[in-house]
Every structure is written in C-alpha cells, then in structure tokens.
Structure 1
Amino acid sequence: MMILETCVAPEWVDYNGHMNDAEYARVFSLAVEALMDHIGLDAAGRQRHGYTIYTLETHLCYRREAHEGQPLRVALSLLDRDAKRLHAFFELLDEAGNLLATSEQMLMGIDSEAGRPAPFPAPVEAAIGALPHVARDAWPALAGRTIGIRR
C-alpha cells in the first residue's frame, strides 16, 4: 500500500550530491505520520482519542542513492501487530519502482494523558485491521535483519 509520495528537497542533499542518510529517516518518519493519518490519528484524532504513536525501534537499510528533485514513494506492509504495537515495514521507491531504502519499525500506541502504552482505540484498531498484512513466511527479504559482520 502506498502511504506517502514526496520528492527529494534541495536541503536534503549533502556534500556527496545525494540525499543525506538522515533524510531517509526523515522520509520514513513522514511515512509514519501518513500512516497515523490513515488510521485516524491525525491531529483531530489524536485530540479526540487522547492517543498517539511513538517509534520504539527502527532498522534502516540503504540500497540506492536518491537525488535532488527525484520523486519518492513509500509503500507500507504490516508485518505484525498486537493490541498496542505495530511492526511495520516501509519501502522507499523511486519513480520507476526501484528500491532505494527500507525501514523496519516497531511502533507503540500511547495514551497521551498517561504517557503510557495503551491498546489502540476501537476505531483505530478497525483501521489497522484493514491495512495490508504480510504473513511471516512471506516477509520481504530485508525484514527481520540483524546487524553484524559476517564471518
């Protein structure tokens, strides 16, 4: 499911002439915000439910360079979920569908007033249920990776 469309802003380009590594994280952060909007946690929804989402962990893999002005699209797949967490996988694609980067994230639902984890409100839970879910045996190859030097 395409969750975000944007393009490489001039201020995202570094001294190497391509999008800086931190800006990939920015694009994936924008994708999380787009996901929140999609499931009813836009500004009004956060206010109404007294609820938000925090990012607990991110694993970003860089595959190709992106350049100034280049159109970008972010696709979302839900790898797993429970009553208050989402295990999400985002793919950053160029206009031809080439994979530029991935971001695997663990997201936690938070009761804004208590500042503590809490189950998703019912309407948000229903919207999450409609997201594309990937069975464990069909996860993308870059999902579930660990960092280490191969010996």
Structure 2
Amino acid sequence: MPNSIAAPFLSSVMAIEPAWIDYNGHLNVAYYQVLFDRAIDELYLPIGLGPDYLRETKHSTMVVESHVRYLREVHLETPLRITAQLIGFDTKRFHVYQEMLHAEEGWVSATCETMTVHVDMTAKKVASFPPAVMAALQRVKDAHAVLPVPAAVGRRIAMPAAK
C-alpha cells in the first residue's frame, strides 16, 4: 500500500459510453452504479482486494446495501471522477460513501453509500477479513479520519407525513 493515502480516494477520469445514454438524453440510472463500482475497483487494488485476492484466497466482497442519490444529470461528453471515503469497518464489512464529480468543474452529480461484506466464495458465507486487509482498511480509515462525515451519510428514503 502506498505511504500516502488520498483523503478522500479519487478515481481516474471516467468516460460515459454512448450505450449508457437513455431516451431522456442523459446517463441512465443503472450506469451510475457501474461507474461507482469501477471506482471501488480502483480503491480495492491498494487495499489488496482486487482480482488477484479472489484468485489467491477464494474470498471477495459483495455489496449488501446501496443508496444512490441523483443530484444533477450528466451527458455523454461529461468527464467524471469519483471520490470514495471509508466511513467505517469491522472484521467482516465496510461502509463507504462516494461522490460522482464533474472531473473539470467539480460539481457533484450523484452520491452512493454502500455497505459491503467480505465473503468466502467457496462456502458462500460472510467471513472475517485477513489481518493484512484489516491493517490496510485501518490505514485508509486513519487517512480519512481528517474528513468530516458527509451530511448525506445515513439518509433514508421515506414519504413525508401527510398533513
């Protein structure tokens, strides 16, 4: 793992693919999740949870809960970057908050909050992280401790009470 951990993590610049544009002329909701997931794949590499980890250990991760907010539409030519902030973790799961940003102008298009579990792919059961991954998660958490918890963390969906 690098000595310097970005707070928050910042993905590479990502491009929207033409097939992802819906009949409304903007990015279809399904592909926001694709982009958020690709950013997490980038974050996984320095933590040690990438494809090699699955191949070598027969363990991986799975998202068990996700909350996406769509704040501002994006179009085919919009360059994007995604931040990721580790909010918390324990021996079997971690909580991440992400923001999708216009890569040049910096405004937020969407946010995504996920709870992810560590899974033994052979047994298909949630399993504890090995010590090396726990140590890597702690280094990320320590680096991200300087960041405030985003106001959107922990939001829920509910209908307003009738008056």
TM-score (norm 1): 0.91
Matches within 5 A, 1:42-81: 42-81=50-89
Which of 117, 133, 141 lines up with 2:144 in the alignment?
133
Look up the SS of the partner of 1:5 in the other structure: coil
> Does 2:92 align with 1:104?
no
- Counterpart AA for 2:109: L
Which of 123, 126, 135 lines up with 1:117 in the alignment?
126
Look up the SS of the partner of 1:130 in the other structure: helix
TM-fit CA distance, 1:8: 1.1
Q: Tell me what 2:159 maps to.
A: 149
Look up the SS of the partner of 1:16 in the other structure: coil
TM-fit CA distance, 1:90: 0.7
> Does 2:30 align with 1:19?
no
Change (3 A) 1:11 1:134: farther
Aligned residues: 150
Structure number with higher strand proportion: 1
Q: Tell me what 2:10 maps to.
A: 2
Distance (Å, rounded) in 2 between the aligned partners of 1:22 and 1:50: 28
Structure 1, unmatched stretches of 5+, are none
Change (3 A) 1:142 1:4: farther
Distance (Å, rounded) in 2 between the aligned partners of 1:51 and 1:18: 36
Distance (Å, rounded) in 2 between the aligned partners of 1:146 and 1:101: 15
Distance (Å, rounded) in 1 between the aligned partners of 2:139 and 2:11: 13
Look up the SS of the partner of 1:100 in the other structure: strand
Identity %: 34
Deviation string 1:69-127 (CA, Å, 9 cap, x unpaired) is 21110101011110010011011000211000000000000112221111112222222
- Counterpart AA for 1:53: T
Which of 64, 68, 92 lines up with 1:84 in the alignment?
92
TM-fit CA distance, 1:134: 4.7
Look up the SS of the partner of 1:128 in the other structure: helix
- Counterpart AA for 1:2: L
Look up the SS of the partner of 2:111 in the other structure: strand
- Counterpart AA for 1:123: A
Structure 2, unmatched stretches of 5+, are 1-8
- Counterpart AA for 1:52: S
